[in-house]
């Protein structure tokens, strides 16, 4: 397993990986991450290995997607530990560029700006966030030129916008979206869970409790969006240490809000627990 720091190095390393015979559906898979890897990220590495002969993991805490008041500076970073983990799961290459390597000394003059679907859900609370995400992902696609890229449904809106970018800008890469990996008590794994103190960690399980209650009601025939949203929001309401941001029922491909749920609709939630912003979602089926 090799760690490379520059665009030139990753390009030539990927070129030599491509040299061998092709056995799987795809030759090269990319798993873009910000590091502080957990079992959720590693499930993407596993999935990448099932779909492609060679797995490349990028690790880059992307300053463009953080607002000035967010946690860019204190975001957890441990490249050596991350590299060991992905090597154990079969990745052959880690691309861990510096900020300078990706952006030079400033902010890129040209960026990928989503004109729809980025102003709702998380986008309503994190203006510019998805522009930063799409810009870095487009750069990673151009640098690594993967045949397939793997993302997690944990970041549901992100996965929808990345599919839309690839479709609308005719990028030649397949997008694969993997299920959410959860802790034993249901909390969706996230690098930011490391910020939670004991009380907040306990409270954080309420996000998924609400989603599950709504999904159970859907399974029993409930279709009214307001009722489902209310069920999902109820464990978060009037709870010390929890500040809900949104609970929305949306159409999975367009993120349009729904009044009536259908199979495949997505219920998504965001809340601050202690000082930490957490998100989660569930597909109703």
List 41, 54, 129, 272, catalytic entry: 41
The residue whose Cβ lies closest to ligand AMP is: 152
Spatial CB neighbours of 112, under 8 Å, sequence gap ≥ 6: 131, 134, 135, 137, 138, 165, 169
Rg (CA), the chain: 19
What is the Cα–Cα distance from 233 to 240, expressed in whole angstroms? Answer: 14
Q: Judged by CB, which is closer to ligand AMP: 144, or 225?
A: 144
Minimal distance, residue 238 CB to ligand AMP, in Å: 27
54 is catalytic: no
Could you list the residues that contact ligand AMP (CB under 6 A)?
A: 33-34, 40-41, 43-44, 151-152, 154-155, 178, 180-181, 188-191
Minimal distance, residue 62 CB to ligand AMP, in Å: 8
Q: Judged by CB, which is closer to ligand AMP: 188, or 196?
A: 188
HSE of 45, CA atoms in CB hemisphere, 13 A: 25
Element (H, E) at 31: strand 26-33
Q: Judged by CB, which is closer to ligand AMP: 37, or 225?
A: 37
Q: Judged by CB, which is closer to ligand AMP: 40, or 210?
A: 40
Minimal distance, residue 68 CB to ligand AMP, in Å: 19
CA dihedral 58, 63, 64, 67 (to 10 degrees): 140
What is the Cα–Cα distance from 178 to 56, expressed in whole angstroms? Answer: 16
Cβ proximity of 27 and 147 under 8 Å: yes
Minimal distance, residue 283 CB to ligand AMP, in Å: 13
Residues belonging to the active site: 41
């Amino acid at each position: 397993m090799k760690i490379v720091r520059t665009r030139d190095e990753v390009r030539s390393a990927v070129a030599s990986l491509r040299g061998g015979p092709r056995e799987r559906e795809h030759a090269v898979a990319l798993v873009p991450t910000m590091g502080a890897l957990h079992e959720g990220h590693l499930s993407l590495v596993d999935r990448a290995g099932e779909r492609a002969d060679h797995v490349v993991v990028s690790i880059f805490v992307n300053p463009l997607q953080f607002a000035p008041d967010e946690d860019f500076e204190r975001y957890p970073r441990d490249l050596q530990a991350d590299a060991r983990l992905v090597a154990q799961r079969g990745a052959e290459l880690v691309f861990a560029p510096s900020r300078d390597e990706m952006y030079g000394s400033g902010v890129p003059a040209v960026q990928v700006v989503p004109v729809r679907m980025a102003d709702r859900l998380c986008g309503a609370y994190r203006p510019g966030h998805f522009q930063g995400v799409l810009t870095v992902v487009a750069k990673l696609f151009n640098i690594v030129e993967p045949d397939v890229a793997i993302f997690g449904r944990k970041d549901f809106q992100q996965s929808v916008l990345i599919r839309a970018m690839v479709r609308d800008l005719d990028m030649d890469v397949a997008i694969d979206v993997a299920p959410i990996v959860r802790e034993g008590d249901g909390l969706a794994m996230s690098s930011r869970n490391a910020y939670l103190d004991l009380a907040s960690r306990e409270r954080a399980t309420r996000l998924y409790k609400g989603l599950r209650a709504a999904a159970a009601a859907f399974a029993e025939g409930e279709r009214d969006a307001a009722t489902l949203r209310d069920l999902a929001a109820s464990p978060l309401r009037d709870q010390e240490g929890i500040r809900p941001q949104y609970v929305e029922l949306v159409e999975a491909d367009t993120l349009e809000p729904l009044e009536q749920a259908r199979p495949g609709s997505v219920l998504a939630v965001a809340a601050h627990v202690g000082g930490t912003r957490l998100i989660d979602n569930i597909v109703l089926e």
